[in-house]
């Protein structure tokens, strides 16, 4: 089974085109490791603290909830800003 690829957007940056990130369960075993990987790959200024759905802002708190081909917004400590 191929590792799921998802598109990650930066919170509060509507012009950011999104970055494709591979979430391989063999390399990323929990949500904290996934957020660390996103922080590194996207070269974020502050650490990623959560992933949310772009329209509803629902928090993704388990790797099992990440859907292949899904789109998510990475947030730090700041409040979630819905993408339009």
Q: Please give the average per-residue pLDDT across 53-81, as a whole number.
A: 94
Distance of CA 16 to the CA centre of its chain: 13
Model pTM above 0.85 = yes
Compute the distance between CA of residue 79 and CA of residue 1 in angstroms, rounded to an integer.
35
pLDDT band at 83 (very low <50, low <70, confident <90, very high): low
Question: Both tokens of residue 82?
Answer: 């819905």
| 45-83: burial string, b at 16+ Cβ within 10 Å, e else | eeebebbbbbeebeebeeeeebeeebebbbbbeeebeeb
Per CATH, the homologous superfamily of domain 5-75 is Doublecortin domain (3.10.20.230)
* pLDDT, tens digit (0-9, with 9 covering 90-100), for 12-31: 998 999 999 999 988 999 99
* pLDDT, tens digit (0-9, with 9 covering 90-100), for 29-65: 999 999 999 999 999 999 999 999 998 899 999 999 9
């Amino acid at each position: 089974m191929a590792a799921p690829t998802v598109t990650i957007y930066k919170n509060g940056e509507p012009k950011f085109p999104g970055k494709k990130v591979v979430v391989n369960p063999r390399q990323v075993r929990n949500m904290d490791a996934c957020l660390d990987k996103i922080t590194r790959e996207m070269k974020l200024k502050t650490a990623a603290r959560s992933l949310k759905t772009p329209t509803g802002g629902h928090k993704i708190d388990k790797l099992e909830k990440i859907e292949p081909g899904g789109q998510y917004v990475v947030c730090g400590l700041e409040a979630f800003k819905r993408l339009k």
